[in-house]
Structure 1
Amino acid sequence: MEEKLAKVDDVSQKSFDFVVVGGGVSGCTIASRLSENPNVSVALLEAGVSHFGDPLVSVPDGWMQQVFNPEYDWVFRTTTQDKVTNSVTTPSGGPDKSFYWSRGKGLGGGSSINFLFWTRPQREEIDAVEALGNAGWNWERFFEAAKRAESFHSTAVNNDPKFLELYSEKSVGHSGPVPISFCKTVSGAEWYFQKALEAHGVKTLEDGLGGSLSGTFKSTANIDPRTGMRSTAATSYLLPALDRPNLKVLTRAYVNRIVTKRDGDDTIGTGVEFEHDGREHIVHATKEVILCAGTVKSPHILEFSGIGNRKVLEPLGIPVQIDLPSVGENLQDHLIFTSCVFEMNNDHRFVTSETITLPEVQAQLRALYGENGIPISLACTGVTFLPLQLISDRVEELIESFEKRIQQKLVDLRPGLKDQYEQQLKMLRDKDVPDIEIVVFPVNVHPQGPPKPHVGLLPSIGRPFSRGSIHANSNDPKVQPTIEPNYLEEEIDLEILLESAKFVRKVTADGPWKDVSVAELIPGSSITTEEELREFVKSNVSTTWHSSGTCSLAPKDKGGVVDTHLKVYGTKNIRVADLSILPLLTVVHTQATTYGIAEQAIDIIKGDYGI
């Protein structure tokens, strides 16, 4: 398929109606949808390569070999995080309190490297976006747009029929570009965790995609069951569009900045400056420049285009076009407790990242599935989303403490942050709105000794109260920006993680889970008191690579970067249409949400131009 991609001369100094920056989930979606109209010309620029036909991308568990590989991964890195106590092991083997932020590099972006979860937010989370002053950004519109991206396919056979594949026909799309399904190979531990949860009052959901998430269920995945391969934005949206003469897709095109000019009080994007094979080029945009470079790179590119906080840009020698201090602010990221790990009983033939490579396990799975050439691979599918109200009796205590903190620092809060916190606290009080996730993770992140069935039960905080930022720190656009997530800056985040860890230990202490597990290896029996567990959580946290907020959708005086049409304030024709616009992070994995944002953006753009 490489021959169908554009050459630099097809793009450089050429004019297109729309220039899309970034070939990830949103970029592929928007470029494909816009080019459906033969009268609209589109150029898509991607810094990475295509990865078409690459087995590390197409095989579902190939992500384990992609991470930290700069051909597939941007390998971003945060600043040192003072509020955590863990020493993160770096790829070079040394300890550090910074975090590596893996992000997909190449066509397909994060859809090529993620853990394959296909989950949709809680209804109230999306309605909260509208309540922040964003008319039209509500659950109903999002839900219909999001379903348009997907095509659900049933799975003929799986290795654990007890772990039910439940869904509602009304809550999934049936004719969209992205094939989704229930993964056929699971660890086998998921059903036992479901039963353990049920014994503690957690219901198993019959519809995990319809906007009511409180409960436990088997997640769908971006896997095409007809081939067993990963469905990416590149293969699903872009590949079928490559023959269109009005679409040019250029890879290895590193975007430096948006080229702008002034029109009265407004700024107009006239094109995009990019580097290809060591040379700088410009592609011209006659209608719009659409940024789809993600939570890290979209604000970074805006800043290099002179759109951002004057106090950030002027010291770097970047000419200020629009003084917009909200660019790069409001960063939020899911934080997960990584070390609640169990050794499982060998008698139950659990399939984990360690045991799936064993010849006897491979033989058992091939006997079940047949020799049809479809690869045997493992994906995570066991998800549970729970309100803090269900698992802890400390909710009101935590809310009251945080409200006092808000009052103490009210004058220092960024514009709009108090409104965000009010929405978060409203959801925290709601007994039907989940606040945390627990993932059944059959991948051993603490390998030691011979292969054994190890399974993690990993809780994460869904809507963190801590806020960070992403900003340029050099006048060289190839220097990675400063990523400051401020993990655990707000104490309530740590306490929610602590309550989640306590709940996991409670659920696994007896009954269905204890019957099939040998021991809790980590934290282990030496961690007994609440204070010991709190300190252990602080020393064993990680990002889940689900950041948002740096180009927030909000009124300008409330910290917004883009308006309800996703146009950057102060510009006539520069939009941002990726996860960075989400002003409040939602509790779920963000892949399906990003497709939904892109599809909703297409509705807006087509409506604005009548195309």
Structure 2
Amino acid sequence: MDPKLFAAKTFDYLIIGGGTAGLTVASRLAEDESIQVGVIEAGDARFDDPLINVPANTGRTMGDSAYDWGFMTAPQAGTNGRTFPAARGKGLGGCSSVAFLSWNRASKFEYDAWDAFASDKGWNWEGLLPYFRKSTAITADQLNTFPGISAADALAGNNPEYSGFDGPIQLSYNKVDPETVPIYVRTLNKMGIRTNPSPENGDLNGVINSRMNIDSTTGTRSYAATAYFRRSESRNNFHLLTKAQVTKLLSGPTRDQSEVEITGIEFQVGSQTFVAQARKEVIVAAGVYQSPQLLELSGIGNRSLLESINIPTVVDLPEVGENLQDHYVAVSQHMLKPGILTFDELRNNPAFAAEQAAIYAETHGGMLASFNSTLSFLPFSLFLDDEEAKTLIEAFDRAVLSRSNTTPLQAKQYAVQREWFTKGLVPQMELILFNNGFINPEPGKSYITVLGAGLHHISRGSVHIKSKDPLLSPTIDPSILDNEFDAKLVLEGVKLLRQVASTAPLADIIETTTVPPSVLQTDEELLSFVKASVATAQHPMGTLSMGPRELGGVVDGDLKVYGTKNLRVCDASILPVGLGAHLQATVYAVAEKLADMIKVTA
């Protein structure tokens, strides 16, 4: 759409960000033909791009400026001053166009904890479940074939009480898995980690065969652009502008001077600046880093920060950009004995790669239509003995008590986390199996790489603007491993990864471990390895947290920004407490729920 035509329209609803949440909300609001919906996206649409569409290409877009904003964190003191990529999808579909395809919900208990931050609004398991279903369509004729699942369990995995069958996002199991997958699953079963046939039912614990957002008919990624935009693009009341960056929210006081009303937006296309108007609401869905950035550029945030940059304060909300949380990851990599087929064969064997490309072109199947789907979610009881768990919880208590700048909102978050530890029902560690080598793989060799991700950390980072320049990246400081507990949790992940690799039948196919070096044995040595090698899972959340304003919340239970009449936020930044799961399923559900909330009050 021409930016001049977009600017000439007056919209009922303006959505900033054509990503996972933004397109979902926009598509649902546009079902009412009497309203005008505008979506503005900084990136471009890439519907026929194999780097997005072909599952086996997942991950290749990271760091590529055509697909990724290319943010970097500030140096992290807890990791020897290292900086980290802070990847965010740039383009229609946002992060859903580049995410690693795993589709899972957190545990029931984690969503139920949201009630403590916004009661009576249905932000809990029962309130979100209809929207988990509404957003998705599972491939109903597929059954879970993982070891440890009975025929009856496999059927139960398609239970309509928990599964959607006619939603926009298409979900499927891999049609093809490398032969390492069943060996790895049987190894975890031998260690007492059961195969969970129905992780969608609110109990995530165990090893799971994650459904992937892959359309089994076409063998391609199913994401916000192909699913939600495509269902709405022909509507006369749905308007999309791409390659346009919003630089400011325009505001004025309400008639009674009690709140701020957002009247429109300012945006740039190339060197030109335009203005678009909104009659009813503006919904910010620019993501965990850029939603708080836009609020601060518009004068909504911590007054002292805004004054230091000479931005007039419109609404003083000190916690804008605070509470950044993520999952932090330890890495292990193992070279396999000859003859074990993994995804590395696509790298090592041009003839095999050509054969798989032909299969994909003809049948939309084969290895190119698959990706790594084996995940494990573990409470303390599945990877620590009682004494080890007690020691780790004591480290949590010490670390929380030693923090000098804990806000009331964070104190409430820590109390929730502490309850999860003691009840033992919420996963605290995730294992992610990649059936290929990541770290300097040798030509002709096959590997597996296993990540151990701590899921509920103490660290609370931040994202803030550093100047009035809207095109300058914000300062992202996740505070990785800034306390004893977080470091020890990742250390326990390293130990668990070693235990898995030394257990048959997986141990029987490993030729050598390349990461971490086997010479590292003591906790002190392994902790040094953690600080030198820890990575982020790229699951950021919480920078515009839902919660009571007096505790430090930024949005209320209607996802409306405090102090404003008509500004809402819809993306992972509103999550009130960190989730132990991959995030895209939750973000779609939150967006579906918000769309219904808006329709009821429109």
Per the TM superposition, whether the score is higher than 0.5 is yes
Partner of 2:55: 60
Measured at CA, do residues 605 and 428 of structure 1 come closer, stay the same or move farther in structure 2, by a change above 3 Å?
same
State the partner residue of 2:139. 153
Residue type matched to 1:112 in 2?
Answer: S
Identity level (%):
36
2:110–2:579 contact (8 Å) kept in structure 1 = yes
Residue of structure 2 aligned with 1:108, choices 68, 86, 93 = 93
Q: What is the SS of the residue equivalent to 2:22?
A: helix
Offset, 1:12: 0.8
Cα distance, 1:570 vs structure 2: 0.2
User: Among residues 486, 494, 514, which one is paired with 2:479 in the alignment?
Assistant: 486
Partner Cα distance (1:252, 1:533) in 2: 46
- Give the 3 Å change call, closer, same or farther, for CA 126–133 of structure 1 in structure 2: same
What is the number of equivalent residue pairs in this alignment?
590
Partner of 1:508: 501
Q: Paired residue for 1:200?
A: 191
Conserved? CA contact 1:134–1:554, under 8 Å = no
- Which residue number corresponds to residue 306 of structure 2? 313
| Pick aligned residue for 1:175 from 134, 155, 166 | 166
Unmatched 5+ residue regions in structure 1? 1-5, 86-95
Cα distance, 1:360 vs. partner?
Answer: 5.3
- For 1:40-439, what aligned pairs fall within 5 Å after superposition? 40-85=35-80, 97-135=82-120, 136-154=122-140, 166=154, 167-170=157-160, 171-263=162-254, 264-338=257-331, 340-348=332-340, 350-355=341-346, 358-359=349-350, 361-362=352-353, 371-372=362-363, 374=365, 376-377=367-368, 378-393=370-385, 394-409=388-403, 412-439=405-432
Q: How many Å separate the matches in 1 of 2:322 and 2:544?
A: 7
Once structures 1 and 2 are overlaid, which stretch shifts more, 387-396 or 208-217? 387-396
1:23-63, Cα deviation, whole Å (9 max, x unpaired): 11000101100001101110000000011222221111333
Deviation, structure 1 residue 363: 7.2
> Structure 2: how far apart are the matches of 1:375 and 1:107?
27
Q: Is the 8 A contact 2:178 2:343 kept in 1?
A: yes
* Secondary structure of 1:303's aligned partner: helix
- Match of residue 460, structure 2, among 452, 460, 467: 467
Counterparts of 1:405 and 1:432, CA distance in 2: 22
1:258 maps to a residue whose letter is L
Aligned partner of residue 263 in structure 2, secondary structure: strand
Please tell me whether the aligned partners of residues 155 and 182 of structure 1 are also in contact (alpha carbons under 8 angstroms): no
Structure 1 contact 353–444 (Cα < 8 Å) conserved: yes
CA deviations on 1:392-433 (whole Å, 9 max, x unpaired) are 132222222332343344x63112111100100111122222
Task: State the distance in 2 between where 1:261 and 1:203 align.
Answer: 57
Q: Distance in 1 between matches of 2:410 and 2:169?
A: 35
Q: Distance in 1 between matches of 2:343 and 2:373?
A: 12
Deviations 1:363-407 (A, max 9, x none): 775898894255741411010000123211322222223323433
TM alignment of 1:592-607, pairs within 5 A: 592-607=585-600
1:278-314 CA-partner distances (Å, limit 9, x unpaired): 2111110000000000100000000111100011111
Correspondence 1:556-575 to 2 at 5 A: 556-575=549-568
Quote the Cα distance in structure 1 between the aligned partners of 2:553 and 2:591. Answer: 18
Q: What's the Cα RMSD here?
A: 2.1
Shift of 1:445: 1.8
Q: Per-residue CA shift, 1:475-498, capped at 9, x if unaligned? A: 101000000100011211111111
- Partner Cα distance (1:405, 1:206) in 2: 36
Equivalent residue number for residue 579 of structure 1 = 572
Quote the offset at 1:66 in angstroms. 1.4
SS in 2 for 1:473: coil
Gaps of 5+ in 2: none
Tell me the CA shift for residue 162 of structure 1. Answer: 5.6
The 1-side partners of 2:189 and 2:434 are apart by: 19
SS at match of 2:199: coil
CA–CA separation in structure 2 for the residues paired with 1:449 and 1:404: 44
On the 8 A contact 1:355/1:453 being kept in 2, the answer is: no
Query: 1:166-192: CA deviations, max 9, x gaps?
Result: 423232210100111012232322221
Q: TM-score, normalised by structure 1?
A: 0.93
Q: Aligned partners of 1:229 and 1:367: how far apart in 2?
A: 15
For 1:46 and 1:369, the matched residues in 2 are separated by: 31
Give the secondary structure class of the aligned counterpart of 1:66.
coil
Distance 1:420 1:156, change over 3 A: closer
Residue 529 to residue 252, structure 1, CA distance change in 2 (3 Å): same
> Where does residue 92 of structure 1 map in the other structure?
none
State the alpha-carbon separation in 2 of the partners of residues 83 and 405 from structure 1. 14
Q: Residues 476, 201 of structure 1: CA spacing in aligned structure 2 closer, same or farther, 3 A cutoff?
A: same
SS state at 1:346 partner: coil
How far has the Cα of 1:163 moved from its partner? 8.8
Cα deviation, 1:107-132, whole Å, max 9, x if unaligned, reads 00111111110011111111111123
The more displaced of 432-441 and 280-289 is 432-441
Q: Is the 8 A contact 1:21 1:255 kept in 2?
A: yes
CA spacing shift, 1:314–1:367, aligned 2, 3 Å: closer
Compute the displacement of 1:319 (Å). Answer: 1.1
- Take 2:245 and 2:335, find their aligned partners in 1: how far apart are those partners? 45
Query: What is the Cα deviation at residue 347 of structure 1?
Result: 2.1
Q: Is the 8 A contact 1:308 1:326 kept in 2?
A: yes
Partner AA of 2:371 in structure 1: A
Return the match for 2:33 from 14, 38, 62.
Answer: 38
SS in 2 for 1:548: coil
Tell me the CA shift for residue 441 of structure 1.
1.2
**Aligned 8 A contact 1:155 1:183 in 2:** no
Which amino acid in structure 1 is aligned with residue 214 of structure 2?
I
Q: For each residue in 1:242-271, what CA deviation from the matched residue of structure 2 results, as whole angstroms up to 9, or x when unmatched?
A: 110101000011000110001112000000
Aligned residue for 1:3?
Answer: none
Q: Deviations over 1:306-344 (max 9, x none)?
A: 100011111111111011101001110111113x00112
What TM-score comes out, normalization by structure 2 length? 0.94
Shift in Å at residue 520 of structure 1?
1.6
Rounded to whole Å, the distance in 1 between the matches of 2:344 and 2:44 is: 28
> Partners in 1 of 2:551 and 2:21 — Cα distance?
25
SS at match of 1:27: helix
For residues 589 and 143 of structure 2, what CA distance do their matches in structure 1 show?
29
Alignment match, 1:537: 530
